[in-house]
Amino acid sequence: MASSIRSSAVAVEVRRLGTVDYVDAWEQQRRLLDARVAGGPDTLLLLQHPSVYTAGKRTEPHERPVDGTPVVDTDRGGKITWHGPGQLVGYPIIGLAEPLDVVNFVRRVEEALIAVCTELGLPAGRVEGRSGVWLPADGPRPARKIGAIGIRVSRGTTLHGFSLNCDCDLSAFSAIVPCGIADAGVTSLTAELGRRVTVAEVTDAVAQRVCDALDGRLALSGVASTPTPPA
């Protein structure tokens, strides 16, 4: 069993918040980060957002909506993405153990989402050179992204986090180049399983698996062997 990536041995405090405006959630993350640095608990926020586009620091102008739809520019890593109803969003505010290993943190969060998808019967995994959680190409369909990750580390503590598409409106991604990737698709649990999979159905499993992964109770699986250009 791997060791915990967290600097605290106290259990992660999981908060299920329902639907929260993106900017309000961002402000709450910053308050929780200040509290964590001051000795407070690690926290995992689980929620949904009203429909919004958010851009990471590496977003290029041509990847933004072409129709002038507003975008919230953030200080997380990654590129542009969409959040909205039917998508579970998680913000782990976690104090990392020394030495800081941000890549390992991302891999652990990926592993948690992979485990949830696998338990639902989907062959989710990684794509080499790209973050997030993917379903492999099959026949005419390209590889499809079902979970996205974009984080920032400040004062040894993580901000921002991940999203898992449950039963969201995938057409929202058509106005952008999601995560800067033009040669792959975006999908959801509902689209892949052929039945409605709600945020409520998977929230508890995601909470458990993320905590398992961060504390070393979930082993990391291998990276997909088919190389692709870096995102």
Those residues whose C-beta lies under 8 Å from the C-beta of residue 158, and which sit 6 or more positions away, are 92, 93, 94, 96, 105, 151, 152
Decide if 211 is catalytic.
Answer: no
Task: Please state, in angstroms and rounded to a whole number, the distance separating the CA atoms of residues 71 and 74.
Answer: 9
Q: Which of 117, 166, 168, 179 is catalytic?
A: 179
Cα angle for residues 86, 196, 168 (degrees, 5° grid): 25
Task: Please state, in angstroms and rounded to a whole number, the distance separating the CA atoms of residues 43 and 94.
Answer: 6
As given in the structure block, the two tokens for residue 138 are 């099959």
Compute the CA torsion angle 128, 145, 182, 79 (nearest 10 deg): -80
Q: Tokens 């690690």 belong to which residue?
A: 42
Task: Please state, in angstroms and rounded to a whole number, the distance separating the CA atoms of residues 176 and 160.
Answer: 20
Active-site annotation, residues = 179
